[in-house]
């Protein structure tokens, strides 16, 4: 099983993000095989790669490639594509994501022993927890400052301090042109 600890080691050895993994690259495949090799502490990556290339007659390199392809195919079935409100491309490395999760309170031993397929739900859960924490802090700040706020300008905590995830999607914002078209269709005033 390819664990998150293995992926972090692979990213550190190759200097690449997992999204940049090239299944046709001998260096990438050798590094992926190396981080999964039980006795890797006895050998360097270069020695492991040389041994793989020498053992080409026994098809060891093909075996590493086949295992990697099977592992990535297994992981792919857990990847549910979610459309984010801001359509930001996630360019974080697995190393960075795991570091953030650990510093946010997830047990490192638990996290690093998990597979890549678990990273999605763990990240979503941590994000939801962080949002709820921020919203609670905002509520208490609003409550403490409410005697000093103008009630005509600020009606609730969301108006007091809006967060980025609460902003309406562009598709939800009605433009002036759309209002005029609706008024023309229904023969009303804007």
In the block, residue with structure tokens 């990273």:
119
Q: How far is CA 18 from CA 5, 58, 97, 99, 184, in A?
A: 12, 28, 12, 15, 53
* Nearest CA-CA partner of 13 in 39, 38, 40, 52: 40
Instruction: Indicate the pTM of the whole model.
Output: 0.72
What's the pLDDT at 83?
40
Domain edges within the chain: 4-117
Percent of the chain with pLDDT over 70: 90
Rounded Cα–Cα distance for residues 85 and 63 (Å): 41
What pLDDT, on the 0 to 100 scale, is given for residue 174?
75
Dist CA 95 CA 63 (whole Å): 26
User: Alpha carbon 190 to chain centroid distance?
Assistant: 43
Chunked in runs of 10, what are the mean pLDDT values of the chain (190 residues)?
93 94 90 89 90 74 86 83 47 92 94 93 92 94 91 87 81 75 77
């Amino acid at each position: 099983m390819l664990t998150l600890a293995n992926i972090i080691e692979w990213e550190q050895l190759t200097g690449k993000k997992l999204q940049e993994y090239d299944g046709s690259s001998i260096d990438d495949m050798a590094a992926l095989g190396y981080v999964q090799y039980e006795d890797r502490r006895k050998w360097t990556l270069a020695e492991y790669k040389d041994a793989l290339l020498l053992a080409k007659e026994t098809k060891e390199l093909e075996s590493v490639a086949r295992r990697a392809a099977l592992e990535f195919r297994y992981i792919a079935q857990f990847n549910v594509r979610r459309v984010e409100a801001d359509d930001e491309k996630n360019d974080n490395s697995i190393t960075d994501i795991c570091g953030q999760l650990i510093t946010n309170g997830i047990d490192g031993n638990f996290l690093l022993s998990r597979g890549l397929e678990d990273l999605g739900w763990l990240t979503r859960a941590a994000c939801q927890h962080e949002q709820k924490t921020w919203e609670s802090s905002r509520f208490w700040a609003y409550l403490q400052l409410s005697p000093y706020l103008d009630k005509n300008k600020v009606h609730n905590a969301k108006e007091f301090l809006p967060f980025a995830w609460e902003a309406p999607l562009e598709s939800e914002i009605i433009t002036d042109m759309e209002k005029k078209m609706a008024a023309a269709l229904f023969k009303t005033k804007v």
